[in-house]
Chain A
């Protein structure tokens, strides 16, 4: 999918930016939602495709509708851009994390190109997210339906997977301390916390500390820890039963 060339931002800043810098982003978002941008394309093509893949399941449909709503809602997009902006330009923020509009105005006032680059980066990020959603939809659909050249092979694989998932569910429900259960629950808790589904008091680091594997995270934080999921799963504490799950 191609990304539209950014429209000319013009020599002057959008009206109102001095009072509220976020207006700049709001306006850019609004313009793009009105038709000429990647957001419009995503709405009309990519998201519809993804949604179609999910059409057989009410649960998955609701997820996709949430995504669609968030992409269609300019307020959500402004929030999204605000978060990206903060990540991209920490120089506009004080040590206390407050936005310093004087620095922003000075910078943006002389560097509209940089603003354009930033918006392109944000659009690229959004495109990646949607691509990720689409792959998730396609792959999990194939898993559910089975992969194979003939209906018989697909049905066989589907049944095998269903039986295997039953075993995984049984492992999760073991009433005893069990390393595979520990590894799975630590993985699920990490996924929930790192994906942002659960904002855990004390953080995922502390939970894993309780399990006995927090040293795998060290000082790098939960996101980096997620990259090391294999290490969490294979931690000696999990497999020698000293982890307390």
Chain B
């Protein structure tokens, strides 16, 4: 059962400001792992990124063959991600980095209005927690 949010102190304040019916049933654990990401580290992650998952390989190829940006957008929108592998998602989130995931979590909390939104926050907070734990012990 996934009912724990791994949030920073600031994120916890945002969560606590939500209505009771949205918060109900969720527990907050403070994210204590700290990792300093930098533009240089991000650039290196981009440099060393290679899409090996078939879904992403096809997307990359199709984006490369897009007639124009509108077509590229259509391709991205219509991509079926249902078969993307867990490993590929892990690799993408590693590339994206903890700061970017944190930025997403903050916006998700600022815009949360129903339980489903908190499910998404919980998922992204676990992904960040896993990434931070792995980075710190690496």
Contact = CB atoms under 8 A, between A and B. Distances in A.
Interface stretch (B9-17, B18-26, B61-69): B61-69
Contacts of B82: 169, 173
Interface in A151-192: 157, 160-169, 171-173, 179-180, 183-185, 187-189, 191-192
A137 to B, nearest CB: 10
B100 to A, nearest CB: 5
A73 B92 CA distance: 28
A236 to B, nearest CB: 10
Interface of B: 2, 39, 42-53, 56, 59-61, 63-73, 76-77, 79-82, 84-87, 89-97, 99-100, 103-104, 106-108, 110-111, 119-120, 122-124, 126-127, 130-131, 133-135, 137-138
15 contacts: A129-B44, A129-B48, A140-B94, A147-B137, A161-B90, A164-B123, A165-B86, A168-B123, A195-B47, A195-B95, A197-B49, A197-B51, A199-B64, A202-B66, A233-B100
B92 to A, nearest CB: 6
A198 B91 contact: no
Interface in A188-217: 188-189, 191-195, 197-203, 206-207, 209-211
B45 A59 contact: no
A200 B42 contact: no
Contacts, number: 213
Interface in A70-114: none
Of all A-B residue pairs in the complex, the 10 with the closest CB atoms, nearest first, are A206-B69, A167-B123, A142-B134, A172-B81, A164-B123, A202-B69, A198-B63, A147-B133, A164-B126, A230-B103
A66 to B, nearest CB: 7
Contacts of B76: 185, 188-189, 207, 245
A148 B133 CA distance: 9
A192 B89 contact: no
A203 B68 CA distance: 9
